[in-house]
Amino acid sequence: MQPGIITYSRNVFLPLTNVCHNRCSYCIFKTPVKDGCVMPKADVLSTLDLGVKSGCTEALFTFGERPGLEDGFLEYIRRYGYETILEYCYDMSLSAIEMGILPHTNAGILDYNELEWLGDVNASMGLMLETTADIPAHKNSPGKKPEVRIGMMEDAGKLKIPFTTGLLLGIGETPSDRTESLEVIESLHKRYGHIQEVIIQNFCPKEGTSMEKWPVPAKEEICDTINLAREILPDDISIQIPPNLSDASELIECGVNDLGGVSPVTIDYVNPEHPWPEIENLKNIIGKRRLEERLCIYQKYIDKGWYPERLSGLIDKLNKDIQHRSYK
């Protein structure tokens, strides 16, 4: 974190599948197995292409967790010539790299071997901790058990994968659960040094879910949590809020220094009712501070060489591209 500087990454969002083995009560992203439940290859490639042409540096592969455990899914993924969604993700990541955009995958829970294998085509990866509390919203989501999430973040640390995580606020956790969640992240980072950013994301109610009428977290609560994150987390971890989900200009005053992935091309498929601000308008949100574009892998990890060798040329090229843009 550098004082006075607010960073963001220019991305395209690729929801490879909406099928998911979890059933989080706040989520509208997940869908049943049905026609169209896997994003066609032609759409992935055209989105990547549009991304590259629009100056995006990050291909965000975010999709349902362990869709292969849902009845009938295998048939759909086989139509594309793959046995698992992760094989599809691997192959599309290779295409992304070839086209000139860096993969960042958040596929939910992966085991050590899956992480190691996918890590070889990713510049960084992510998984929201959400919360360390056992909450009713997660009672049908085996992958949201805190110990499972923490276990994967520990594996990512062992594998030296630059990592994004975060808290989802207002899903039934208490203020002390938020403290505990941030302390867990701090302790993981102390041991492995791999956490590059922590997202403080506010729950947004979705029509048709059981949490449709659930109250949203107040601005003060979000701000208090950002303050708490600043106290608990070391300075080298960025604190991110998504600028489409809350009044970012007020939250920046609370200690935020990153606006995450913003897309000039794709919508936020997790929160489709919240459009991204235009990149040009981000400057209005941040007041007197300076807006700086970044890659999905932070400079610190580039310097340490925490990326697969095959990405070395591309990281170098994109770093030059964004520096060039910032001096224009």
Ligand X SMILES: O=c1nc2n(C[C@H](O)[C@H](O)[C@H](O)CO)c3cc(O)ccc3cc-2c(=O)[nH]1
Map residues 190-229 to x or -, x wherever contact with ligand X holds by CB under 6 A.
-------x-x------------------------------
**Are residues 162 and 297 in contact, defined by beta-carbon separation less than 8 angstroms?**
yes
Segment near ligand SF4 (CB under 6 A), from 22-30, 42-50, 260-268, 275-283?
22-30
Quick check: 214 binds ligand SF4 (CB under 6 A)? no
Of these partners, ligand X, ligand MET, ligand 5AD, none, which one is at the site of residue 104 (CB under 5 to 8 Å by kind)?
A: ligand X
- End-to-end, the C-alpha distance of the chain in Å comes to 23
Quick check: 296 binds ligand X (CB under 6 A)? yes
User: Tokens 């207002």 appear where?
Assistant: 170
Strand partners, 202: 169
Dihedral class, residue 66 (left if φ above 0, else alpha if ψ from -120 to 50, else beta)? left
Query: Site for ligand X (CB under 6 A): which residue of 37, 38, 39, 60?
Result: 60
Of these partners, ligand X, ligand SF4, ligand MET, none, which one is at the site of residue 193 (CB under 5 to 8 Å by kind)?
A: none
Q: What angle do CA 80, 149, 185 make, to 5 degrees?
A: 130
Of these partners, ligand 5AD, ligand X, ligand MET, none, which one is at the site of residue 9 (CB under 5 to 8 Å by kind)?
A: ligand X
Quick check: 131 binds ligand X (CB under 6 A)? no
Exposed / middle / buried, residue 39 (Cβ in 10 Å: 0-12, 13-18, 19+): buried
Quick check: 30 binds ligand SF4 (CB under 6 A)? yes
Footprint on this chain of ligand MET (rule: CB under 6 A): 20, 29, 62, 64-65, 106, 108, 127-128, 270
What CA–CA distance (Å, rounded) separates 284 from 145? 39
**Are residues 39 and 17 in contact, defined by beta-carbon separation less than 8 angstroms?**
yes
Residue 20 assigned to a binding site: yes
Quick check: 12 binds ligand X (CB under 6 A)? no
Closer to ligand X at the Cβ: 77 or 105?
A: 105
Residue 37 assigned to a binding site: no
What CA–CA distance (Å, rounded) separates 80 from 194? 34
Strand partners, 12: 59
Q: What share of the chain is helix, strand, coil (3-state, %, to 5)?
A: 40, 15, 45
- Region 134-173 residues binding ligand X, contact defined as CB under 6 A: 164
Query: Site for ligand SF4 (CB under 6 A): which residue of 7, 17, 22, 244?
Result: 22
Q: Which of 143, 220, 113, 233 is nearest to 179 (CA)?
A: 233
Of these partners, ligand MET, ligand 5AD, ligand X, none, which one is at the site of residue 206 (CB under 5 to 8 Å by kind)?
A: ligand 5AD
The footprint of ligand SF4 on this chain (CB under 6 A) covers a number of residues equal to 11
CB of 11 to ligand X, least distance (A): 6
What CA–CA distance (Å, rounded) separates 1 from 106? 23
Residue 296 assigned to a binding site: no
Quick check: 271 binds ligand 5AD (CB under 6 A)? yes
**Are residues 17 and 67 in contact, defined by beta-carbon separation less than 8 angstroms?**
yes
Exposed / middle / buried, residue 104 (Cβ in 10 Å: 0-12, 13-18, 19+): buried
Quick check: 26 binds ligand 5AD (CB under 6 A)? yes
Residues at the annotated binding site for [4Fe-4S] cluster?
A: 20, 24, 27
Which residues are at the interface with ligand SF4 (CB under 6 A)? 20, 22-24, 27, 29-30, 64-65, 108, 141
